[in-house]
Amino acid sequence: MSLKALRGTLLLTEREDPARYNVVPGELPEYFNGDDLVQVGQPRSTFLHGIFIWAALEGFLGLAPRPEGLRVNPSMPAGWDWIALSNMPYRGFPLSLLADRRTKTLFTTARVETSWNQVEVSELLQRHYAFQAEKSAFWIVISSKKGNEVIAASDQAVQGKLVEQKTGRLLAEVSIPAGGMVRKKLE
């Protein structure tokens, strides 16, 4: 439902006669008259982009901040196998998380309340590595009994390399298909 609402709002800006509807194509407007869908606020809203981001955080990731901590219970649209968040400020530290729908596992850099299986990974561990790619991609390094692994995901096809920050040593090369997620053991 969140995805439909976000797409629908964006589609309202892509009208055949933008001047009649008081919209700027590709820009998020302030608000619409519910009777004729004419945009009656500012043609370019500076705060609506944040609302879209927050709708995604609450809707898809199921983020619910509480005084005692953060609740995260993802609710992804059909066809989405994963969703990720990088470096969101949370209680003075960057929170990154990856939700894997297939295993119903949430990989997080901070403990959260969730009904999913949770694998907490060290945020300090993430600082030891850098992911180099020609396009944007999400990545997280996890530790297991078998050693460290990188999980990388992207909405577009990406070739990437995980390197050690201090030495520049190549630890893993990954090929991520569009919309895919890969997991690879570090060398």
What are the boundaries of each domain within the chain? 1-59, 123-185
Percentage helix, strand, coil for the chain under 3-state DSSP, each rounded to 5? 15, 40, 45
- Tokens 């600082």, located at residue: 127
Beta-carbon contacts of 51 under 8 Å, excluding residues fewer than 6 positions away, are none
pLDDT band at 47 (very low <50, low <70, confident <90, very high): low
pLDDT at 90 over 70: yes
Dump pLDDT digits (tens) for 128-187: 999 999 999 999 999 988 899 999 999 999 999 999 999 999 999 999 999 999 999 998
First CA to last CA distance, the chain: 42
Return the higher-pLDDT residue of 5 and 153: 153
pTM: 0.78
The two tokens of residue 122 are: 């060290």
